[in-house]
Amino acid sequence: MRIMETTGFSETQLTVREAISAICSNFPNTYWQEHDEQGLDPTDFHAALAKDGWLGIALPEAFGGSGLGISEATMMMQTIAESGAGMAGAQAIHANVYATQPLAKFGTEKQLQETIPKIISGEFRTCFGVTEPNAGLDTLRLSTQAKKQDDGTYSITGQKIWITCAQVADRMILLARTKQREEVDKPSKALSMFCIPIDKSAPGLDMRRIKKMGGRAVDANEVFFDNYKIPADCLVGKEGEGFKIILHGMNAERCLLAGEALGLGYAALAKASTYARERTVFQRPIGMNQGVAHPLADAYMRLEAAKLATYHAARLYDASKTDDSIRQDAIGVAANSAKYLAAEAAFTACERAVLAHGGMGYAQEYDVERWFRECLVPRIAPVSREMILNYIGEKVLELPRSY
């Protein structure tokens, strides 16, 4: 059962939705229940999407991609989550979509020719290495260092945390410090971006899997670097431009996360409405009771409103590539707002779906408990609700900065 209103979407977006739905139909809820319970990576799911070229949905055709936009990629991610795969299915592939955006824009010819086609084909899997335990969202204060050696190579030392799919990744898009803050006139100029190989057999690299509440089918990790050697040609763009470069992936990431949250919310709400029609108590379907029906109807309208914000942000992101009148700060406001609204709408829908199921909402076989656990992810990552509120307060309302 699909309940999202699809009026207004482009033919291409709806074609993406249909094609992704067909792939996802081969991976039923029981597949995701098993992988969640056992912490198994959905390798075959990733391979199925790669086989049909979907990992390159928003990458240039010249490298084997589809050349579509973040609008279509957002629809893909929503459809994956909505299929029952939830955040686990989405997180299995979404770094391959958003983390590759800055690489495609700023990468060297060698990086473009050798790395991106292998990501699209599924030969390489990708992870995103930005967050650190002692910096959190204060990215400009990250401490992982990339020291240039006499032979031109780099040595990486430091720690990253909450790195999704690092255990199965072949490449990491890494943000690291190449200068100290006091050596530059702007803190952002001390950071550089790298596309580095992940070789767990090499000295200087250690990973520790984090046990977590939801999305257990995909690994999340602490990653430790101790003089981990990487070639000079891992640098993306110029030294000192990493923060500026990586921002090209962050607005895309917010759009994708918003789509994933929508998918999660719609899946939960569809499941709850079906249950409310079929479950009979006191000789009547429980959906006949307004105490059940009204919370679900309210959740639907919240999702529909967040949907409009989400695809507005994605359209702005795509249009900005050819329309210089679209400001980057406007995209930032739209993408952050969409991510916030979609995450809140998903939380409302998932919580109410559990409650509508009553005791059975607590049972694994009904899936809504899994989606409820997972719906906390878009509220927290990649940026918290509170930091988005700070951002809107400062950038839109021109209030004094609070941090």
DSSP output for 183-226: GSSSGGGGEEEEEEE--TTSTTEEEEEPP-SS-TTS-EEEEEEE
Statement: residue 365 has pLDDT above 90: yes
Q: What is the pTM of this model?
A: 0.97
pLDDT at 225: 98
What would the mean pLDDT of 299-305 be, rounded to a whole number? Answer: 98
Check whether domain 125-240 has CATH 3.40.109.10, yes or no: no
pLDDT in tens, 226-257: 999 999 999 999 999 999 999 878 999 999 99
pLDDT in tens, 17-38: 999 999 999 999 999 999 999 9
Residues of each domain in the chain carrying CATH 1.10.540.10: 11-106
Range(s) within the chain of domains with CATH label 2.40.110.10:
125-240
Give CATH 1.20.140.10 domain extents, the chain.
243-395
Q: CA-CA distances (angstroms) from residue 167 to 115, 147, 164, 173, 221?
A: 18, 25, 8, 14, 8
- Assigned token pair, 53: 């070229």
**CATH number of the 11-106 domain:** 1.10.540.10
Fold of 243-395: Butyryl-CoA Dehydrogenase, subunit A; domain 3 (1.20.140)
pLDDT confidence of 204, banded at 50, 70, 90? Answer: very high
pLDDT range class, residue 325, cuts 50, 70, 90: very high
Average per-residue pLDDT in the chain? 97
Question: Model confidence over 380-391: pLDDT tens digits?
Answer: 999 999 999 999
